Structure 1
Amino acid sequence: MSDNKAPSIQQDQMRIDLQDEASMKEWEKKLDATAEQLKEAVAAVGDLASDVEAHLKGSRSSVNSERVHNAL
């Protein structure tokens, strides 16, 4: 018998939860983005991390760390 919970747990980890502050901080670091950028991206493409990452890469210049620094 297979464990049906494993895929859903893994799938949940790949979603960005805008209500979880600790999760948001982690995604900000992983995606080199501000909280506002993450919120805008989730609103535009949904909460799948891969979709958000692709959206962010397509909507900003190659040097985003300066924008993140300035936003803080």
Structure 2
Amino acid sequence: MADDMTHRSPQNRSQINLSEDYEVQYCTDKLEPSKAQLEFALREVGASADAVETELRQSMLASGPKQ
């Protein structure tokens, strides 16, 4: 089934696909990492949305609050 571009969230919410701009936008809006941080997390833990979210939260906690 082709992606329905009227939906703003990923079709398969359990996976993140960097090839789809709207999925990258959704993730960066939801979790607030930079695109580079999102790419790094995907390389580290794979495409699982839950694993990426956990990785990003841990890395953001380790780096301290935003200024």
TM over 0.5: yes
Aligned length: 55
Question: Which letter does structure 2 place at the counterpart of 1:38?
Answer: L
Q: CA RMSD in A?
A: 1.8
TM superposition outliers: structure 1 runs of 4+ over 4 Å: none
Per the normalisation by structure 2, the TM-score is 0.70
Could you tell me how far apart the structure 1 residues matched to 2:42 and 2:24 are? 12
| Structure 1 match to 2:65 | 63
Question: Unpaired runs of 5+ in structure 1?
Answer: 1-10, 67-72
The structure with the greater share of residues assigned to helix is 1
Q: Which of these two proteins has the greater Rg computed from alpha carbons?
A: 1
Counterpart Cα distance in 2 of 1:32 and 1:20:
17
Tell me the secondary structure at the aligned position of residue 60 of structure 2.
coil
Q: Which runs of 5+ in 2 are unaligned?
A: 1-10
Displacement of 1:63: 2.5
TM-score (norm 1): 0.66
Taking every aligned residue pair, what percent have the same amino acid on both sides? Answer: 27
